[in-house]
Amino acid sequence: MQLLLPLVIGAAATWIITPLVIQIALWFRLVDDPKIRYHPAHTHKGIVPRAGGLALLVGFLASVILFLPITKLILGVIVGSVLLVIVGLADDKQDVNPYLRLLTNAVAALVVVGVGAGIPYITNPLGGILRLDAWRVSFTFFGQHSVLPIADLFAFLWIMWTMNIVGWSAGVDGQMPGFVAISAFILGLLSLRFSLSDPSQLVVTVLAFIVSGAFLGFLPWNFYPQKIMPGYGGKTLAGFLLGLLGILSYGKLGTALLVLGVPMIDAAYTLIRRLGKKKSPVLADRGHLHHRLLDLGWGKRRVALFYWGVSAILGAIALSVTSAQKVFTLLLLAVGVGGFFVWVNFFTQFSKPQDPDSG
């Protein structure tokens, strides 16, 4: 029960601070008005405060300061998180160039990789381990340092990927904070399993529960009808922290891949679709899975609950199966989602019309 206290404090801090952030967003016009700021992926109507990233950051940091030692790694996490939310708030005020946002994401990822968040190995589903830390470059600069080019590159790409795919699955009220809270909790349970043999994993467990709590506390304000949106800062913060947890929880990227299976596969199909149409992969459109579900007449509550339920089911599976079984499950999920997209593209005319803003 003591390990759940960081989760409770993180949730309480975010829940308490969010009404104040809503007022700040309204005061400084950090709002989303579809009539002024058209965005093809938006699903809401009316003026909605943004700046949810600030509330999430405050709740996250409050619990981190209370429950975690400020090591080099934790300091890197704090610096990266603050940077992402600052740029997110700027985007909430006035749209920031997507390539500049991508550059900011890269800087945040480099910060945590630079303080030690590398991927030393990947479990081979066919057996054995693929070592990524065999190539080491050492140098002296105010002390002895080492760089692991392959391990660090994999970590950088992984964090960049999760920042983008989580952001792409945040289009419906309550959708993103729900599955992020579930995913972080699952990764916390995974690291707790390894803490018996490696006590240092308890720090990762606490960090995961803090992330879960912060997003859980934001959920009541973001669920339909949303009182505040996570904004770009909230979305990238979620992907940044989940990507990092996937690395720190004993490098179990397979578990993170599976628990984030739907957003991951949706993002992969999105990239293929955009590149196939010779469009920029970072320019938004209305072709994500949640858009398709809305087009079929699903309400926003139903879409959010669908994402939560699938994340919880996949998380439970990920904690109880082997690496090979995780890959098999992910492939089945990819085929299922791909089949759904094909069905929607060719047979939408046989479906009922969308239930507008039904929730």
The answer to whether residue 221 scores a pLDDT higher than 70 is: yes
**Residue 44, pLDDT score:** 58
**Residue 37, pLDDT score:** 62
**Residue 209, pLDDT score:** 97
**Residue 203, pLDDT score:** 93
In a domain, 356, yes or no: no
The answer to whether residue 124 scores a pLDDT higher than 80 is: no
Q: How far apart are CA 330 and CA 344, in angstroms?
A: 21
- With a CB cutoff of 8 Å and minimum separation 6, the contacts of 165 are 239, 260, 263, 264, 266, 267
Phi–psi pair at 213, nearest 5 degrees: -65, -40
| Residue labelled with tokens 């009182």 | 227
User: Do residues 249 and 190 make contact, with C-beta atoms less than 8 angstroms apart?
Assistant: yes
**Residue 3, pLDDT score:** 83
**Residue 337, pLDDT score:** 79
pLDDT in tens, 162-207: 998 898 888 899 999 999 999 999 999 988 888 777 787 899 999 9
In a domain, 81, yes or no: yes
- Domain span at residue 312? 2-117+149-350
Interval 225-234 mean pLDDT = 94
In a domain, 194, yes or no: yes
In a domain, 124, yes or no: no
> 225 preceded by cis ω (within 30°)?
yes
Classify strands 31-32 and 48-49 as parallel, antiparallel or unpaired.
Answer: antiparallel
More confident residue, 276 or 155: 155
pLDDT in tens, 128-139: 677 776 666 665
Q: Mean pLDDT highest for which of 115-124, 147-156, 255-264? A: 255-264
The answer to whether residue 232 scores a pLDDT higher than 60 is: yes
Interval 95-117 mean pLDDT = 92
User: Do residues 323 and 125 make contact, with C-beta atoms less than 8 angstroms apart?
Assistant: yes
DSSP calls for 134-191: S--EEEESSSEEEE-HHHHHHHHHHHHHHHHHHHHT--STTHHHHHHHHHHHHHHHHH
In a domain, 134, yes or no: no
Interval 203-224 mean pLDDT = 96
In a domain, 75, yes or no: yes
**Residue 42, pLDDT score:** 59
**Residue 108, pLDDT score:** 97
More confident residue, 111 or 283: 111
The model's pTM: 0.88
In a domain, 355, yes or no: no
In a domain, 280, yes or no: yes
- Tally of domains in the chain: 1
How many residues make up the chain in this entry?
A: 359
